[in-house]
Amino acid sequence: ENEEIYLTAIREVREETGISCSFSRLLMIRHLYPFRFSESDLYFLCLLKPIDENQKIDFPTSEISDCRWMSIKEYLENPETHPSNRYILECYLEFIEGRSQPGLTPVVLDPTTTARFPINTWYAPID
């Protein structure tokens, strides 16, 4: 579909979780090249906020095995959390704690902890 990134994020969250959200901002962009078929792979991380925090999660069990709310601590300690996602959350926490500056910052993530090759990531901590 021809769709803006923020509209795609809102639609995907609604389709995959049943949660209606509003878009707050783009937090991070990751670009991998070459990726499958020698093409680029772009990954956008958006901050969305639920319109109603009491909404019940309703996900398609044919596509997703589990979907639930968890605390930041639980997410960081979960062995299934991918190292690059853990890193992104740690960058966000550094910013909200006043230990880093806002703006897109280029980072090359270590391939031994994230993937088979270096991951070029641009992240923007939020205010």
Q: How far apart are the first and last CA of the chain?
A: 31
- Residues known to be catalytic: 15
Instruction: Give 104-107 contacts, CB < 8 A, sequence gap 24+.
Output: 104/29
3-class SS at 81?
A: coil
Structure tokens given for 53: 């925090």
